[in-house]
Structure 1
Amino acid sequence: MSKHGVARWASGLGMLAVALQASATDRKADETESIVVEGQRERSTVVLDEPVLTGSRLGIDAFDLPASVSVISHELIQLRGARTAMEAIESAVGMTGGTSVGSIPNYATRGFSGNDITVMRDGIRQNTASQSSRPLDSFLFERIEVLKGPASLLYGEGAVGGAINYVSKLPDDTTKAEIMATVGSWNTYRTGFGVGGPSGVDKLYYRFDVSQTQSDGYVDDSGYDYTAAAAALRYDATDDTTLTLQSTFLKDSVSSYYGTPLVYDAVIDQTGAQAVRRANSATDRLVNARIDGRTRRLSYDNIDNWSKADNSFTRFIVDSNLSERWTLRNETYVATQHMDWRNTESTVWNPASQLVERGSFFLIYRNDLQIGNRVDLRWSGTLAGRPNTFLIGALYDNNEQIRNSGQTLPASPTPANVPLVGFDRGYGPDVHYQRTVKVTTENAAVYVENIYEPVQRLKVVGGLRYEQIDVERKSYVGLDPYTKSYDPITGRLGVIFEASDALNLYASYSRAAQPVSQLVSLTVTQDNFSLQKGAQYEVGAKASVHGTDLTLALFDIEKKDVLTTNADRVSSQIGKQVSQGAELAVAFTLPGEFRIDTHAAWTWKAEYEDFFENLTNGGVLSREGNTPANVAKFVAGLFIVKPLGDWEFTAGARHVGERQANTNNGIQLDAYTTFDASVGYRWNDAQIVLRGRNLSDEEYAEWASGSGLMVRLADPRSVELGMKYSF
């Protein structure tokens, strides 16, 4: 099926929906009185009694979903004081994050990281991390959902390890407003304002939110400024049809902190020989590797560094109940990004010269335009006398990205090499970006989902997705054009057994497909390579009884056809990446109104199989059994809330186990444990909160660069005073 054929599926579904709606206009709507019941939900990442958009488009509750999903609601984000999207996501079971490339957050879970984790906005997938995974203030989100394991059924190629979905706030039927302001260490300021409800015009509702974050940063010259605004209108055109227009605008400006160089006395190569020289991260282990305390606040970037981005995301949504059994949702969206980037990205210690060698001066230019449409048609009824819900959908997405990929640049700032302390940072070369290429990615897909209850207490949930992907690369500097096409079929099949009214057991199998690099980065040298294939087996349990919610999952994931090197030093898709583990999340209340939210993830197997690297001068080296970089085998968290009259006390602990800094596994990042706490006082609709982070002043690396010779250090102990007023 061509992409035009898939697009015709989308238009055909739209015409079918119009016909069904026309036939439904003659029926008389029942006049019913709306009753709104409000109450305070237990604020936990374990959510079972409501639909999760990231797990399925069928609208089923998380309790009936044969997959693991964590939900970080707006209320939970505020309770935990999560300032950014990354801080919020790290409260989900088994999730770790870090900033490895100046300003772009990265995530790891279930033995996979980086491009194996898809980040989306309101379920819309973008093709690069620089588009989707910008540093974001968390105030604008209604919730963040994290789906574990392959998610290609819902979101297309990629997502072998999982998917993160930012869900925007939308208009409500009742007037609500919120003001937030905080001040904290290192001249950090945050403000937020949100309001929404009836507009005064019949059947028209609105929502508006704005936030601003500014900080000097703990490391010298690592300040940042995030500005965000969102607006939405909802019009209830009829009793059965709702129109929603929603837009988000983001602006960030970051003085990038790329990392602190590891200091070491010597290296040991693969033969066991020791030498005093700069390390080769592909073959060497470091002798007495450490972070010199004097470097903890130093930046080694050029003075004239920056990372700036402007993003927008607009969508128009039509939701319609076509009949008692048929519903339609059509979503048209437009996203833009402009990014300008100028930084030094490598700072490596050389024990022979006792200098930090600076290189990889880098410019990035991005000018992206993404346009798409997605339509879902859902039917709920009975099949052979048993409950059944079916959905068929189609998507067309066009993403044009103009960039300076492959632009030749000077390698280093001036001076290129500096002492460990007491140095002149200097400036980058006098060079400007050049627009070198336009990459157009077209995705057209048809997908189906179904949940069927063949017998009482047993449900079968499944889905398939066919996708046509076309990539076209046009050069502005005289290189030959390049095109590539893929047509993967992915899906998921699961069963849920209702052991009791409070306990569901499930098993599922899901498949994913992923290119050997991001679609926008594909070149002619990768033309002969197929998509990598991902598959996951998962079994688990979900329970909700007497105020306790629990989820347990065991998983086995394999990504095969990984690009590697064979014995003849030829690139070949013979490698594998595998992981096995278990995750447990529990939320409950103890006597005395102590609310507990705790989780643990143990990935006992996370390694490469049949994976080799082609070394420049050292032949081919096996990575068999090595652990992927930045993947922790054990992650756990505990969060306690104790209300006491108008006071509210919280305490949290988070542990992340040892990680490897590179595929060579010659450098390890130590395990760490952090402690946070807060005390809040509520007066009428206002609340004042004093919060402390990393109270033990743990010094740790949150993420390693690709080579592992420089690491991103986390902030030390900090305090924050905040105020929130809701009305």
Structure 2
Amino acid sequence: MGVTVPLAVSDAALAQAAPSQEEIIVTGVADRQLLLDAKNGTGSRLGLTVRETPAIVDILSQELMQERGLRTSVEALNATPGATSGELASSPGQLSMRGFTGGAISLLYDGVRQTNSALIIRNLDSWSFDRIEVLKGPAGVLYGEGSLAGAVNLVPKKPRFGQDAYAATAGYGSFDTARIGVDANIVLNDKVAVRGVSSLNRTSGFIDNTGARFFATTLSATFKPTDRLSVELAGDYFGDNFSTAYWGAPLVPAAVARDPSGLVTTSDGFVVDRALRDKNYNVTNADQGSDAWWLRSRVTFEISDTLTFTNELSYYDADRRFRNSEVYTYAAPTAAFPNGSFRRSTTRIDHDHQFFVERAVLASDTQIAGHRNRLVIGVEYSRSDFDSVRRFGNTTAVDLFEPARGTFAALDDTAANFPGAGNRANFDSRTTITSVFAEEAFNLTPSLLLVGGVRYDHINLERSVEDLNAGTFTPFSRTYDPISWRGGIVYSLAPKAQIFAQYSYAVAPVGSLALISATNARFNLTTGRSVEGGLKASLWDDRFDITLAGYWIMQDDIITRNPDNTNIAIQGGSQSSRGIELSTSAAITKQFRLDASLAILNARFDTLLELGGVNRAGNTPPVVPERVASVFGIYRLVDIPITLSGGMRYAGHFFTNNANSVRVRDAAVFDAAIGYRLSFGDITLRGRNLTDRLYANWFGGSARQITLSAPRSVDIGLNAKF
């Protein structure tokens, strides 16, 4: 989905309504948005603005995503200061942030966190969202276990009162990529508004035979029977279908490569061969996709001018399937394969996943001895039912340069097709979590705000593994009772300039709870601590925003090995990250705006022994670039209706394994666009990766399969609003 066509339509027509507490203000000066003054539900449930929150919260509004041509959630998250995102085929949309990846970052949908959120990650169409909010640093107080490095909240578009508004978009571009989207906001009367948003797109892919189709739709309604009562109802569907999914470019010896590149450096001389850049080694009848439904409701009742009750109820149901050859391992030349070959695995996995969450929150905004005090107390209950059929085998080898990809013959569920213990197994998982949480923001003085929070989770895990080949059935269970907390201060140097500091404590499992093994279930949750401080300021009559933060995060009790017997896994390892992040947005003139960001970090394993006693202390965790930067400029000509924009994204090198033996080169990628403004919208021609840089943003089926990003491409989009 990373190559869908951008449809940069402004949401301004849909924002001409009574302002909500989350509305983002646009100044009209180079269309700069006052994001620091926007209220957000990701950094706190207290109704704090971004500048009142003692942490960094980045907001990618729909307007910003459109003007930068950010077509998908992966592209949007790559535009987040200090973050990178990639398209791992098994879970598209993984995120690396502040030195951590995977299960250390929670994914939210409309503020609801799904336990084991790494399972549900997909590369979603940005057209569906009003904005994407990214909270940096531990978020356990808000979202429980697994929020050690932060949280990403995908906020869908919702009905707005005021007036009817409609938007549509269509486009086409490189790799036979096409997209169409519609958005209709209809106000039935002063008490009922509805909104429907849909997008359909397809691509043939920039790798051989990797076509895919995607569809997303949301229908929502807001009812306001009284001034104090609001009822929101919504249903969402997201579906994706890949014919033969791309699992990465496998590495080959430099001596074998016909056009060796410098993209990857390994300890044994393997490289990415440009001659294999477009090759697909998946079987021809591979099938991968997902169908997911969200049903959501939110009831908000203002009991009084100072007291509000909110109840949220969500239900998620998803089916996912994976029928692939995923892992490719180089083998030396033989008589049958004089060029060498790739040995290939086969994988058949099914997910049957349901998730239910009920959350009730009581919020007050009162005065205590003349000091403003905002308090939230809530309870939450969630249940995740996850069943998985998992099959692993092997299929025929293929030539490097002329692969006869063959078919997935191992569709019959037999031990002959999936031999060996553990390779033909059924997993069942039930995770129930009961939580109590509280947050408070107290104005000790008009300039000094104290913010704190605490959360208690009772986690009950029930798992079973049925190994059909070994003839065993292994049920097990485990309970956890973690407490997460944070305390912070925000001091206003001036009305639009704040400094902040925060200390946080959070927890994370040693692996995904839904997939945890009986061996790992005996371990406790890992613990995390974080210290963060920084500055947020708006200057020059709100024409210049700056945020600056420094942080330190430590995760203890990760799995390591017993120094006396490295065959035994124990807890006691640790990893840490420290860094600084700078982000700016400046309206240089009324027509020209420049946005820039820079993140520098040092991430490392502090204590980690692996099998055989190999010490990984001092190594960098996988897929963690330690330098990330971006710059984006937009200029709107006055005399003619032309808009020029362009920018650069830079990500430093990263490794694909704990040993740091596979190093992926850094990359700077340049994009540019020219748009023609119409009375009803605009037409935009955009070029991406203009220098045709060979670069990667993740790795695929193994640490030696590098997920390449798209080469140079061009797309054009027509956008309309009414």
Match for residue 280 of structure 1? Answer: none
Alpha-carbon offset, residue 359 of structure 1:
3.0
Match for residue 99 of structure 1? Answer: 87
Tell me, what secondary structure is at the counterpart of 2:514?
helix
Of stretches 418-427 and 243-252 in structure 1, the one that deviates more from structure 2 is 418-427
Match for residue 9 of structure 1? Answer: none
Query: TM-score scaled by structure 2?
Result: 0.89
Paired with 1:314 and 1:239, the residues of 2 have a C-alpha distance of 25
Alpha-carbon offset, residue 435 of structure 1:
7.8
1:215-247 Cα deviation digits (max 9, x unpaired):
000000111111000000111011100111011
Match for residue 423 of structure 1? Answer: 403
The answer on whether the counterparts of 2:700 and 2:706 sit within 8 Å (CA) in structure 1 is yes
The answer on whether the counterparts of 1:265 and 1:287 sit within 8 Å (CA) in structure 2 is no
C-alpha distance 651-99 of structure 1, shift in aligned 2 (>3 A): same
Question: What does 1:168-187 correspond to in 2, within 5 Å?
Answer: 168-173=156-161, 174-187=163-176
Question: What does 1:406-421 correspond to in 2, within 5 Å?
Answer: 407=391, 409-410=392-393, 412-413=394-395, 415=396, 417-421=397-401
Of stretches 495-504 and 477-486 in structure 1, the one that deviates more from structure 2 is 477-486
Alpha-carbon offset, residue 52 of structure 1:
1.4
Alpha-carbon offset, residue 516 of structure 1:
0.6
Tell me, what secondary structure is at the counterpart of 1:48?
helix
Question: What does 1:324-473 correspond to in 2, within 5 Å?
Answer: 324-351=305-332, 354-405=339-390, 407=391, 409-410=392-393, 412-413=394-395, 415=396, 417-432=397-412, 436-473=426-463
User: Is 1:696 equivalent to 2:677 in the alignment?
Assistant: no
Paired with 1:706 and 1:538, the residues of 2 have a C-alpha distance of 35
The size of the alignment, in residue pairs, is 668
Match for residue 484 of structure 1? Answer: 478
User: Is 1:118 equivalent to 2:106 in the alignment?
Assistant: yes
The answer on whether the counterparts of 2:26 and 2:33 sit within 8 Å (CA) in structure 1 is no
Paired with 1:457 and 1:198, the residues of 2 have a C-alpha distance of 41
1:103-148 Cα deviation digits (max 9, x unpaired):
5221101111122121111111123346431121111001001111
Aligned with residue 623 of structure 1, among 616, 619, 635: 616
Match for residue 271 of structure 1? Answer: none
Match for residue 607 of structure 1? Answer: 604
C-alpha distance 533-334 of structure 1, shift in aligned 2 (>3 A): same
Match for residue 512 of structure 2? Answer: 518
The answer on whether the counterparts of 1:463 and 1:492 sit within 8 Å (CA) in structure 2 is yes
The answer on whether the counterparts of 2:73 and 2:93 sit within 8 Å (CA) in structure 1 is no
AA partner of residue 195 (structure 1):
A
Question: What does 1:232-311 correspond to in 2, within 5 Å?
Answer: 232-254=220-242, 255-265=244-254, 285-311=266-292
User: Is 1:83 equivalent to 2:78 in the alignment?
Assistant: no
User: Is 1:669 equivalent to 2:649 in the alignment?
Assistant: no
Paired with 2:474 and 2:678, the residues of 1 have a C-alpha distance of 67
Paired with 1:325 and 1:432, the residues of 2 have a C-alpha distance of 63
1:605-632 Cα deviation digits (max 9, x unpaired):
2000110111xxxx22110100011100
Paired with 1:45 and 1:600, the residues of 2 have a C-alpha distance of 20
Of stretches 341-350 and 312-321 in structure 1, the one that deviates more from structure 2 is 341-350
AA partner of residue 478 (structure 2):
K
The answer on whether the counterparts of 1:44 and 1:76 sit within 8 Å (CA) in structure 2 is no
Tell me, what secondary structure is at the counterpart of 1:75?
helix
**Over 4 Å off, 4+ runs:** 33-46, 351-354, 432-435, 475-478
5+ long unaligned stretches in structure 2? 1-16, 257-264, 414-423
Paired with 2:185 and 2:680, the residues of 1 have a C-alpha distance of 17
The answer on whether the counterparts of 2:27 and 2:33 sit within 8 Å (CA) in structure 1 is no
Match for residue 420 of structure 2? Answer: none
Paired with 1:87 and 1:637, the residues of 2 have a C-alpha distance of 13
Paired with 2:626 and 2:525, the residues of 1 have a C-alpha distance of 27
The answer on whether the counterparts of 2:254 and 2:271 sit within 8 Å (CA) in structure 1 is no
AA partner of residue 544 (structure 2):
T
C-alpha distance 491-692 of structure 1, shift in aligned 2 (>3 A): same
The answer on whether the counterparts of 2:326 and 2:701 sit within 8 Å (CA) in structure 1 is no
AA partner of residue 499 (structure 1):
L
Paired with 2:707 and 2:444, the residues of 1 have a C-alpha distance of 52
1:489-516 Cα deviation digits (max 9, x unpaired):
0011100111112210000011111111
Match for residue 153 of structure 1? Answer: 141
Alpha-carbon offset, residue 34 of structure 1:
7.2
User: Is 1:636 equivalent to 2:626 in the alignment?
Assistant: no
C-alpha distance 45-466 of structure 1, shift in aligned 2 (>3 A): farther
5+ long unaligned stretches in structure 1? 1-32, 268-283
Alpha-carbon offset, residue 102 of structure 1:
4.5
Paired with 2:672 and 2:151, the residues of 1 have a C-alpha distance of 29
Match for residue 553 of structure 2? Answer: 557
1:245-279 Cα deviation digits (max 9, x unpaired):
01110110023100001222489xxxxxxxxxxxx
Alpha-carbon offset, residue 45 of structure 1:
8.3
Paired with 1:130 and 1:73, the residues of 2 have a C-alpha distance of 23
Paired with 1:508 and 1:209, the residues of 2 have a C-alpha distance of 38
C-alpha distance 162-544 of structure 1, shift in aligned 2 (>3 A): same
The answer on whether the counterparts of 1:461 and 1:494 sit within 8 Å (CA) in structure 2 is yes
The answer on whether the counterparts of 1:265 and 1:286 sit within 8 Å (CA) in structure 2 is no
Alpha-carbon offset, residue 355 of structure 1:
2.5
C-alpha distance 530-635 of structure 1, shift in aligned 2 (>3 A): same
Tell me, what secondary structure is at the counterpart of 2:75?
helix
Please, what is the CA RMSD of the aligned residues?
A: 2.1
C-alpha distance 573-130 of structure 1, shift in aligned 2 (>3 A): closer
Alpha-carbon offset, residue 598 of structure 1:
0.6
Match for residue 26 of structure 1? Answer: none
AA partner of residue 327 (structure 1):
T
The answer on whether the counterparts of 1:46 and 1:71 sit within 8 Å (CA) in structure 2 is no
The answer on whether the counterparts of 1:375 and 1:393 sit within 8 Å (CA) in structure 2 is yes
The answer on whether the counterparts of 1:215 and 1:223 sit within 8 Å (CA) in structure 2 is yes
Tell me, what secondary structure is at the counterpart of 1:63?
helix
AA partner of residue 53 (structure 2):
L
AA partner of residue 427 (structure 1):
T
AA partner of residue 288 (structure 2):
S
